[in-house]
């Protein structure tokens, strides 16, 4: 079955540690996105990528980094510079970019990141 | 003022009830509108698009009012399985590209 796979489902970070969240899709989609969801707030865009080897900062990119070396994969690293990383992280993809998306987004099941 | 605002709820309704949510947006240049459904700690899933002419899908009806800058979602004959958070999503063309803006969501709890 085609879809987006995020791993791990739960992740714990120690202070000063970098952690990487995985996102893989087999939908052959060009565009991929990372969102952060906090209680009482809408999803906020961290980074997005419209094609391989290209990515753009979203609204809250500070403290995060990404890579897009393969079409299928868009990992997100939460660096030690991100002082408030506890949140639910969602990866998404869409067939074409057009910026930050102009059609249906397909979401992964999310990763809950918590700080120890 | 937030770009997209929703009443967080929760809306507690009995099975069979009709319930309506509104979502207001601040930028009149907003182009496209959607409702997503999100179950607790799960991924959001597209429920339906919203058009000026209205859009109906079974028990769900979505409407757009551009003059007053709001969209609505009406659920008729509520089921227990409708319990979820409903996210309003607005697409705005900004800085030369499309930008998706998510509302914080409205929580619906349907009880027996």
User: B-contacting residues of A 64-93, CB under 8 Å?
Assistant: 88, 90
Nearest CA to B53 out of B62, B45, B44 is that of: B62
Mean pLDDT for back-to-back runs of 10 residues, chain A (116 residues) = 89 91 95 92 91 92 97 96 93 73 79 92
pLDDT in tens, B10-45: 999 999 999 999 999 998 888 889 999 999 989 999
Please give the interface size between A and B, counted as residue pairs whose CB atoms are below 8 Å apart: 50
Q: Which of B24, B22, B13 is nearest to B82 (CA)?
A: B13
Residues of B within 8 A of A43 (CB-CB) are 44, 87, 102
Which among B44, B93, B103 is the nearest to A107, CB-wise? B44
Q: What is the pLDDT of residues B58-91, one digit of tens each?
A: 999 999 999 999 999 999 999 999 999 999 999 8
Chain A residues close to B30, C-beta within 8 Å: none
A7 contacts in chain B (CB < 8 Å): none
- Residue B97 CA to residue A39 CA, distance in Å, equals 28
């Amino acid at each position: 079955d085609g879809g987006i796979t995020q791993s791990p489902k739960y992740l714990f970070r120690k202070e000063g540690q970098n952690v990487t969240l995985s996102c893989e899709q087999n939908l052959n989609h060009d565009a991929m996105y990372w969102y952060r969801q906090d209680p009482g707030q809408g999803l906020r865009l961290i980074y997005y990528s419209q094609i391989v080897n290209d990515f753009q900062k979203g609204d809250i990119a500070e403290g995060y980094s990404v890579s897009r070396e393969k079409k299928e994969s868009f990992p997100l690293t939460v660096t030690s510079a991100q002082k408030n990383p506890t949140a639910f992280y969602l990866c998404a993809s869409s067939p074409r970019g057009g910026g930050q998306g102009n059609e249906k987004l397909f979401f992964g099941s999310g990763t809950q990141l918590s700080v120890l | 003022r937030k770009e997209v605002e929703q009443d967080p709820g929760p809306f507690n309704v009995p099975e069979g009830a009709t319930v309506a949510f509104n979502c207001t947006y601040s930028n009149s240049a907003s182009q496209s509108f959607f409702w997503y459904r999100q179950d607790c700690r799960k991924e959001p899933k597209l429920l339906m698009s919203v058009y000026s002419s209205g859009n109906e899908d079974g028990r769900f009806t979505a409407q757009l009012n551009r003059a007053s800058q709001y969209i609505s979602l009406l659920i008729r004959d509520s089921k227990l399985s409708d319990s979820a958070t409903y996210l309003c999503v607005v697409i705005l063309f900004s800085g030369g590209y499309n930008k998706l803006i998510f509302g914080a969501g409205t929580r619906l709890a349907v009880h027996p």
